[in-house]
């Protein structure tokens, strides 16, 4: 464990509180991966933590956690708690700060996320997380049926960890997911998308998608086209195939890309005008979805005589001057015609050739 992390635990400890690294950092560390996001749990309350770390910030939407950034490390320090009641199968609405680590571990989701490291660097593993890391198993802490009923996001987290870590679900965990999968309908599309993005961008995405289908989660997530997704590196291509712009949240940039990819998919990718219109990225993604060679698409794109309107050897004002007219909306059609003629090699992208073409076609 890095010295900076140990130092932060010591600072809390020396102030008279318990403090442990827990969750993803410990799990990934034991699997030989490092992370800059560190979850710490403690019996100090947020108010007490603010006294130890005056620079700490308190996130608006969270309660019971403070954030401390040190260099590139991002610490989320959370007070031990007991979650008493949940709302909409997601949010703990009532919680109680407690003093006991073991009780705090019991409220967590999976055994592999319950392993702790203390300020001396020693591992504390009350719930056999290391055994399950070795067995490569995702197993809920305590009653699986209750865990998923309390918070349905845990269903997607289970599939996400099974995918990213290449682990299996324990039989009881799988059975409980099957029983409670309909609760996924109550989660926000934002939270569902966050987990799905992590599944789709994993190097093991193919297995993750198969697992979602095998468990019947595609139905509950309203991803009716999930079976049509063939593995590609591009996250946006997967969402284009899934065709859920009306349900899931996307940025306007993502929306534009998805629309272009869907449109390009229906066209001849290698056609020079289409390559020019959609650009290399969209053409490659749509081409890959159609099983075409990205290398060939790239070669064809690189061979285009122009890649944007700016590459045409004359500008609009000059064309208007040649035609003896004022510039106006008619130039848009002239431009499009010139683009096509140049892209299909009917016209050289040279000043003189374009002047002659414009005079003979538009005068």
Helix axes 235-242, 189-200, angle to 10 degrees: 130
What are the beta bridge partners of residue 337? none
Count the site residues for ligand ATP by CB under 6 A: 10
State the binding string over 149-168 for ligand ATP (x if CB under 6 A, else -): --x-xx--------------
Work out how close the CB of 160 gets to ligand ATP at its nearest, in angstroms, rounded to a whole number: 8
Work out how close the CB of 154 gets to ligand ATP at its nearest, in angstroms, rounded to a whole number: 5
Minimal CB distance to ligand ATP: which residue?
24
Nearer to ligand ATP, 20 or 357 (CB): 20
Does 24 bind ligand ATP (CB under 6 A)? Our answer is yes
For Mg ion, which stretch binds (CB under 5 A), given 7-15, 36-44, 104-112, 322-330? 36-44
Does 183 bind ligand ATP (CB under 6 A)? Our answer is no
Residues listed for the chain: 363
Does 104 bind ligand ATP (CB under 6 A)? Our answer is no
For ligand ATP, which stretch binds (CB under 6 A), given 105-113, 166-174, 297-305, 337-345? 105-113
Work out how close the CB of 4 gets to Mg ion at its nearest, in angstroms, rounded to a whole number: 17
Among 20, 53, 80, 109, binds ligand ATP (CB under 6 A): 109
Work out how close the CB of 28 gets to Mg ion at its nearest, in angstroms, rounded to a whole number: 9
Work out how close the CB of 275 gets to Mg ion at its nearest, in angstroms, rounded to a whole number: 42
Does 92 bind Mg ion (CB under 5 A)? Our answer is no
Among 11, 24, 194, 337, binds Mg ion (CB under 5 A): 24
Which parts of this chain interact with Mg ion (CB under 5 A)? 24, 37, 39
């Amino acid at each position: 464990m890095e010295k900076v992390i140990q130092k932060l635990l010591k600072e809390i400890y020396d102030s008279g509180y318990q403090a442990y690294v827990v969750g993803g950092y410990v799990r990934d560390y034991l699997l030989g991966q490092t992370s800059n996001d560190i979850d710490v749990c403690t019996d100090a309350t947020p108010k007490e933590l603010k006294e130890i770390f005056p620079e700490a910030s308190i996130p608006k939407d969270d309660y019971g956690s403070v954030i401390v950034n040190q260099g590139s490390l991002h610490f989320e320090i959370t007070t031990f708690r007991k979650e008493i009641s949940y709302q909409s199968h997601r949010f703990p609405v009532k919680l109680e700060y407690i003093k006991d680590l073991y009780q705090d571990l019991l409220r967590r989701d999976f055994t592999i996320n319950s392993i702790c490291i203390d300020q001396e660097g020693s591992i504390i593993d009350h719930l056999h997380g290391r055994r399950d890391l070795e067995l490569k198993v995702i197993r809920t802490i305590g009653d699986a049926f209750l865990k998923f009923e309390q918070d349905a996001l845990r269903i997607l987290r289970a599939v996400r960890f099974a995918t990213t870590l290449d682990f299996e679900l324990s039989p009881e965990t799988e059975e409980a997911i099957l029983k409670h999968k309909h609760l996924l309908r109550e989660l926000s599309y934002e939270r569902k998308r966050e987990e799905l993005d992590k599944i789709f961008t994993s190097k093991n995405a193919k297995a993750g998608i198969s697992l979602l289908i095998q468990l019947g989660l595609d139905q509950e997530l309203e991803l009716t086209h999930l079976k049509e997704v063939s593995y590609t590196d591009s996250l946006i291509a997967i969402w284009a195939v899934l065709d859920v712009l009306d349900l899931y949240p996307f940025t306007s940039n993502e929306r534009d890309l998805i629309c272009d990819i869907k449109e390009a998919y229906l066209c001849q990718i290698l056609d020079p005008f289409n390559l020019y219109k959609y650009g290399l990225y969209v053409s490659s993604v749509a081409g890959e979805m159609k099983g075409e060679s990205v290398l060939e698409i790239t070669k064809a794109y690189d061979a285009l005589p122009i890649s944007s309107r700016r590459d045409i050897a004359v500008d609009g004002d000059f064309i208007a001057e040649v035609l003896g007219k004022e510039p106006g909306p008619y130039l848009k059609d002239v431009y499009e015609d010139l683009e096509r003629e140049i892209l299909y090699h009917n016209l050289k992208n040279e000043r003189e050739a374009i002047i002659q073409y414009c005079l003979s076609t538009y005068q």
